Amino acid sequence: MIRRLLASLLLVLALPALAQSPAPPTAPAPVAVARPRVQLLTSYGPIVVELEPALAPKTVANFLGYVQRGHYAGTIFHRVISGFMVQGGGLLENMEEKPTGEAVLNEAPQAFKGGLKNTRGTIAMARTALPHSAMAQFYLNLVDNVALDHRDMSTEGYGYCVFGRVVEGMDVVDRIARVKTEWRRGMGDVPQFAVRLKEATLLPAP
């Protein structure tokens, strides 16, 4: 009888101690990275792209730098290939190239791993045959262009970095894609009549 009473007393004394023990620490909630939106005001209407800084931070920062410096105002979409893509952001209407800054690191491997692919409606950096040569020019995919995606770390397989997508104005992109093109100053697929990029504006956060 005495043993049972002592056991009950020990259990009662232990309960407050259990109740007061600190809860195990919880992992901090992941911080959401804002996705900035940029409006590209073209002579065919506005296009809004949403960017992915979490997956392509250097590429997004590079693009936004050109936006904020007003670089894109007065440039044209100088390369339009129906069933492929439309490219712009680097040439003036007289086909002269606008001065740019340094080339940006090609983040295609990590962007592709994160799910950013050259699918219809995405925006990606244009470049030369050298993987890390992108500066200001970009293109908008008209279809799924698997051949432009990252495959490996070779020069041929490095891929083109996607850094966002069109969220408004894909109908404008499609209208641009239907313009007639010609050869001009040694370049093919140049619109016969200029498709102007009047300005690029960073939109306020919602």
Residue 99 sits in a domain of what CATH number?
2.40.100.10
In a domain, 78, yes or no: yes
User: To the nearest whole number, what is the mean pLDDT of the chain?
Assistant: 89
In a domain, 18, yes or no: no
Q: Give per-residue pLDDT as tens, 63-98.
A: 999 999 999 999 999 999 999 999 999 999 999 999
In a domain, 6, yes or no: no
Burial 168-197 (b: 16+ CB within 10 A, else e): ebbebbbebbebebeeeeeeebbbeebbbb
In a domain, 8, yes or no: no
pLDDT at 25: 58
Confidence category of residue 22, pLDDT binned at 50, 70, 90: low
Taking residues 190-202, what's their average pLDDT?
98
In a domain, 162, yes or no: yes
pLDDT at 17: 41
In a domain, 165, yes or no: yes
pLDDT at 206: 79
Structural domain that includes position 196:
37-202
Q: Give per-residue pLDDT as tens, 110-169.
A: 999 999 999 999 999 999 999 999 999 999 999 999 999 999 999 999 999 999 999 999
**Residue listed under structure tokens 């809860």:** 23
pLDDT at 106: 98
Confidence category of residue 26, pLDDT binned at 50, 70, 90: low
In a domain, 102, yes or no: yes
Confidence category of residue 182, pLDDT binned at 50, 70, 90: very high
In a domain, 192, yes or no: yes
Element (DSSP H or E) covering residue 17: helix 2-20
pTM of the model: 0.84
Counted domains in the chain: 1
Between the alpha carbon of residue 174 and those of residues 168, 170, 178, the distances in Å are 12, 6, 7
Contact partners, residue 118, CB within 8 Å, separation at least 6? 124, 141, 144, 145, 146, 148, 149, 159, 160, 162
